[in-house]
Every structure is written in C-alpha cells, then in structure tokens.
Amino acid sequence: MSSKQWIAGINAVGAALEHDAENVREVLIEAGAKNTRLAEIESRAQRLDVSVRKVPKTAIDGVVGNLRHQGVIARYAAAKTYNESDLIELVEVAAGSALLLILDGVQDPHNLGACLRSAAAAAVTAVVIPRDKAVQVNATVRKTSAGAADSIPVVAVTNLARTMKSLQQQGVWLYGLAGDAGGSLYKTDLRGNVGLVMGGESDGLRRLTRETCDSLISIPMPGAADVESLNVSVAAGICVFEAVRQRQA
C-alpha cells in the first residue's frame, strides 16, 4: 500500500470518486465556493459515504501549497502498487497482445500524467517507469492524468534494463523511439506483445536502455528534425494510438 496523499482539482477528485472511491478517505471543499461542479463532487462523495468537510481556502492552500486545486482536494490512499512480478503476470494475462509503455526517466509530473492519460485511453496493459531518477506518481501526476493514474497499472522498477530483458524473455518485442532511427513507426508491426520505449525530456533514451531495445524506430516528421523535438507525452500518444489502429485493423 502507498502512503496517504492528497490529490487536488475537480477532475482528479471526481475521477478518484468515480473509479476508486473505496480509497478516497476524505474530501475537503472550499467553504463558500459557488462552483456547481464542487456541489456535484460533494453530493457524489456523500452518496458514496465518503467524509466531506467545508474548510477555508487558506486551509486547502496549506495542504497542497502552490498546486492548483480549484477549491477541492481529497486525502487518498492508492489501493495497489505494482512491482516486477505483477508486470510478468499482466503480460501473461494479456495472452499475446500486451501493449506496454516504458518511460525512461521522465522528470516532469505533467508529462507523466499526460502519458498515463493517453495510455489509459489506449487500454495499455501497463506503464513502466524507473524507481530512481524519474518522477513517481504524485499529486500533480494524478491531477494531470485526470484519473488515469488510478485506472492503469504503473510499475516502478529498480533496474529498467533488467526489467526490459525479462520482458523480452516473455516474448515482448521492445521498440525504442529515437530521432536518428531508420525504421518508421508507421511501417512497424505493433501487434502482439509490444513495448514502446520512450526517453526522458532532456536526453532521450539512456545508452543501456537504447542498447537493450530490439529495434529503434522514429516518428516521421516532415517539418521537424527528430523525435526529441516532440514532447514525450505527445510522442507517447502518437505511438500508443498507432498500435491501437493496427490492432483494430
């Protein structure tokens, strides 16, 4: 179980109540706020028997600091954390159609949240992140993901290259996104067990991660130099939905 934490914002709190209400411990709403969406959250929380308190805005500011909260925060305890053994099981359960998003050192919580949102919309099997030197799922990530952080497995691993090799042994083909790669995303078969490996915001794929991939591919961009010119969350969205397109076809 993860430690208790606060999530902030109308979308984040609303999504937590919708998708994982049993782990919402308490909702704090700004006293005197006139936003009808806050009233809807209050009503939903009460129907779900989740404690609701009206408090001054200064009290909410004191809890979440500079995080934009829109007049509502919730004390949240995530139901499950995932590890390497869970990842093996998730791939097995996918029965030959696992789609993984592997993020190598994403630092910006807004980028991670946006990646999770795209991954959830594309029904990605799991998102894999390093435990060190990368942002973890925190209040900002939860807010940006609009509930996706609570609906998709996020697996934080100690050694990313070792985890990638373990996935390869399970029959997962790993494609790393790199601007200098000769292969095109759109000419790559993304059906079956596939892991899409994306680098961090500043340096892209680290050397060992890059070398562990089975193949390197790029997103064709007639108007730009390379994949690193795209925000990582934009690139991730393009890649996972290309996989969805191929699998539906």
**Residue with token string 């050192």:** 105
Could you tell me how far CA 122 lies from the centroid of its own chain? 12
Q: List, as residue ranges, the binding site for S-adenosyl-L-methionine.
A: 199, 219, 230
211 Cβ neighbours under 8 A, 6+ residues apart:
none
- Token pair of 103 as six digits: 């993020």
Contact (Cβ atoms closer than 8 angstroms) between residue 238 and residue 219: yes
38 Cβ neighbours under 8 A, 6+ residues apart:
10, 29, 30, 70, 71, 72
Q: List, as residue ranges, the binding site.
A: 199, 219, 230
Task: Note the helical H segments in 48-191.
Answer: 57-64, 84-93, 109-121, 139-145, 160-169
